[in-house]
Amino acid sequence: MLSEQTIATIKSTVPVLEVHGTTITKRFYQLMFEAHPELLNIFNHANQKQGRQQGALANAVYAAAQHIDRLEEILPVVRQIAHKHRSLGIKPEHYPIVGKYLLAAIKDVLGDAATDEIINAWAEAYGVIASVFIDVEAEMYKKAEQQQGGWSDFKNFVVQKKVKESNQITSFYLVPQDGQVLPAFEPGQYISLKMEIPGEHNTHIRQYSLSSAPGQPYYRISVKREDAVGSRPAGKVSVYLHEHVQEGDVLLVSAPAGDFTLDRTDRRPVVLISGGVGLTPMVSMLASLVETAPDRPVTFVHAAVSGDNHALRNEVEELVATHAQAAVRWCYSRPTEQDRLAQAFHKEGHLDLAWLQSVVPERNAQYYFCGPQGFMQSVYGLLKEWNIPVSDIHYEFFGPAAAWEADAQ
């Protein structure tokens, strides 16, 4: 338990963190990687270069300071981050390193304003927060390893099949090299790939949603090739997977993780909304609902640029055809002439509230959505405008938590 004095001191730093949070986290990563370059084998370099990881950590530190007297309120966020940590291989011995350089960064950035009282209070608070993460993650590691066919850390998988799904997205079917049974997973969860890319000094870890239903003899991921656009560099792992990984190759894979999963205790209708490659967890959810909840109404809404960019369309339509209460709607922002001739879409342009209301038969439903950041912001805004309760809104964001997500908690 934290003392009242420590809590008061931490809360007094909230306004400072609001202003200087990202500067502190940038300095933190700089100091930590200089002292421990081996940690570059865990962290996403692209997110570091784009400042996304620094921003996400700043948001997390700010939230911890705000809720330091009622940490139970951020436990859902703790569990979400803990899932990612478990899939990356974060261990208890990493936490003292993070604490040391986070405190050093606070001192560096704030200078004389970071009094001994403030530094000592944050050291005490960090110890409590780190202990919560360590305990939660220990239970997750134990569960992952002890389930049937389970394992800890990373395991060798063979690429059984490689299938091009669209002009940007390719699926990889992965089976355990040792021939052991695959552990179950919840639709919406992801796995991590740990890649050693020729010419790269460090390993790269990326997380990909499982795009098939549970119970298959393989794990399937459907990966979008991220080419360079403007100032955004090409995705090292996605490009390598598309260009160099072939059937028969061996990849290092983590056990499934993630808390973006279907609420199976709720029997109300389900609305699945996706944009681009964000359809991957939605296809897994749809396939599971078709198999296990044939009486539960499902509306599947997907937004793509055009039919050329639309992956897994036939699979989704086949799944919907087998479910008496399922419907699918496609929205293309820039349909091709072929799309128009084939009447391959239901709406041209972007999702808007009027159209969404017209295709969702029952407002009282559970809403799940996933896609690029701009798409996520738009869909969240539409659902809030429609006065959908926050408890009925569920989403997965590919990458570190974005600033807009603070409003969604």
Is 276 labelled a binding residue? yes
As a dihedral over the C-alpha atoms of residue 288, residue 291, residue 295, residue 298, rounded to 10 degrees, the angle is 40
Residue 374 annotated as binding?
no
Alpha carbons 346 and 12: distance in angstroms, whole number: 53
Does 206 show up as a binding residue in the annotation? yes
Phi-psi region of 276 (alpha: psi -120 to 50; beta: other; left: phi over 0): left
The verdict on whether residue 310 carries a ligand-binding annotation is no
278 annotated as a binding-site residue: yes
Please list, in sequence order, all residues whose beta carbon lies within 8 angstroms of the beta carbon of residue 146, skipping any fewer than 6 positions away.
none
Residue 275's nearest CA partner among 233, 247, 310, 238 is: 310
Helix (H) or strand (E) holding 119: helix 116-146
Strand partners, 209: 190
Count, in order, helices (H) and strands (E) of the chain.
13, 12
Q: Contact, 306 vs 334, CB < 8 A?
A: yes
Q: Confirm whether residue 335 is marked as ligand binding.
A: no
Contact 353, 322 (CB under 8 A): no
**How far apart (Å, rounded) are the C-alpha atoms in residues 33 and 38?**
8
Please name which of 78, 121, 101, 127 lies closest in space to residue 26, comparing C-alpha atoms: 101
CA distance 117 to 214: 51
Cα–Cα distance for residue pair 13/238, rounded to 1 Å: 40
Evaluate whether 232 touches 50 at the Cβ level (below 8 Å): yes
Binding site annotation covers 286?
Answer: no
Catalytic residue among 62, 101, 137, 186: 137
Task: Tell me whether residue 378 is annotated as binding.
Answer: no
Query: Is 268 assigned to a binding site?
Result: no
Q: How many Å apart are CA 186 and CA 298, to the nearest integer? A: 18
Q: Give the separation between CA 324 and CA 347, rounded to whole angstroms.
A: 23
Of the candidates 268, 274, 159, the one whose C-alpha atom is nearest the C-alpha of residue 218 is 159
Tokens standing for 288? 């599971």
User: CB 42: neighbour CB atoms within 10 A?
Assistant: 17
Residue with tokens 């966020």: 77
280 is in an annotated binding site: yes
Catalytic pick from 29, 62, 95, 332? 95
From first CA to last CA, the distance across the chain in angstroms is 25
Is residue 95 among the annotated active site residues?
yes
* Binding-site residue positions for NADP(+): 276-281
* Binding-site residue positions for FAD: 190, 206-209, 397-400
* Binding-site residue positions: 85, 190, 206-209, 276-281, 397-400
* Binding-site residue positions for heme b: 85
Q: Which residues are catalytic?
A: 95, 137
